[in-house]
Amino acid sequence: MNSSGRLAGKTVLITGAARGQGASHAELLAAEGARVLACDIQDEEGRATADRLRQAGLDVEFLHLDVRSPREWARAVAHARTTSGRLDVLVNNAGIIHVGPLLDERVDDWNALLSVNTTGALLGIQAAVPMMREVGGGSVINVASIFGVVGAVGYVAYSASKAALIAVTKTAALELAVDGIRVNALCPGGVNTPMTEHEQEGGVVPQTPMGRRAHVKEISGVVAFLASDDASFITGAEVTVDGGFLAH
């Protein structure tokens, strides 16, 4: 445990933290001194991730959290209050994806995706802000996507959900600045995670000037920055980490 890191003394809640980007974020933010509540619906993987990180000396606890449920959000935040007495950082990382032609998009699939990627983040902000106000401020990091900034063939629901998440971010930044709560959208390009394994060969790589997908640690480093006081004057921003994809 690092008592002198940039996040020492802070409590962080991360959704979608069982694997991939979320697990990487949990590891780095804990290494920076935070107490991390790693949340997911994937209980077995989530517990294994938390156990692995605790064995490495990091303060990480797994919590079951379905981001679509206001009741489960309330329970997670109450757990932070009981165990830490505070909540300083919320990383809305949970997300799902499906691919298909726009004209074939089913309403049920559309609603299911938006309920996790967009509504889940809104519910998280609503649940976390009261505790952040109590401690004098905080940082919310919404993990969006480059496909929330530009369109992508076959990704109509995913792109819409991430564009909406960016809009939620900007509105929340305006409303919560008076409370000392910063809200930013992180917009990764291609990232090597289990969620991208289904993508066709190449994916976004041919359009990425750096010629590869990001490693999860490259995304986590930006999350740690936005969570810390090093980013104290950054709010309402779209922070792009895409190897130059959007420079076209």
What one-character DSSP code corresponds to residue 224? H
Q: Is 158 a catalytic residue?
A: yes
Name the amino acid, one letter, at 68: R
Annotated active-site residue in 158, 165, 173, 187: 158
Q: Which residues are catalytic?
A: 158
